[in-house]
Structure 1
Amino acid sequence: MTDKDYVPYGSDVSAGRYACVDCGHHYSNQSKKSLPPCPHYAAGTHPKKGWKILSGQGDAVDDPYPN
C-alpha cells in the first residue's frame, strides 16, 4: 500500500475500494487507467480532489503522481 493519505483524481490504481477525501463518497473499482473524480465533485467543496484507499493496493507502480 502507498504511504500517501490519498491518491489524486487521475491516478492509475489497482482494484479496490476508495472513499472521497472531501465528502466520504464510497467508490469500488477494477483496475483503472485513470481514477475518476468524485461524482459529487464541486470546485468549492472538494479542494483535495482525491480518494482515500480503503482496500486494495492503491497507486499503481507507474502512477503519474508518485509523490
Structure 2
Amino acid sequence: MQKDSVPYGSDISAGTYACVDCGREYSGPSQSSMPPCPDFTEASHPLKGWKVLSGQGDAPQDPYPETSGK
C-alpha cells in the first residue's frame, strides 16, 4: 500500500513530491534520505513531509526513518 505522504528523511523511490506544508514540488531519483523542503522553517513547516504526486513514495523496507535504528 502506498502512503499519501512521507516524512523528511524517508527512503524514497524516484518520483515527484510536493511539500505538505507549502506545496513546493520536488522531482528526483530514488534516495536513501528525502531532504527537507528548501523553504523549511520550524514555524512554517509543522508537518515536515512530502505528498507523493508520482512514484512509489516511501521505500517499504524502511517506512519510518525515526524508528529504523540507522
Quote the RMSD (CA, aligned, Å): 1.5
The unaligned stretches of length 5 or more in structure 2 are 66-70
Q: Which runs of 4+ in 1 moved over 4 A?
A: none
The unaligned stretches of length 5 or more in structure 1 are none
1:8-60 alpha-carbon deviations (Å, 9 max, x no partner) = 00000000000000000000010000000000000000000000000000010
Is 1:37 the counterpart of 2:36? The answer is: yes
Measure, in 1, the Cα distance between the counterparts of 2:5 and 2:54: 12
- Count of aligned residue pairs for this structure pair: 65
More helix by share: 2
Of stretches 55-64 and 12-21 in structure 1, the one that deviates more from structure 2 is 55-64
Of all paired residues, the percent bearing the same amino acid is 68
Deviation of 1:61 (Å): 1.4
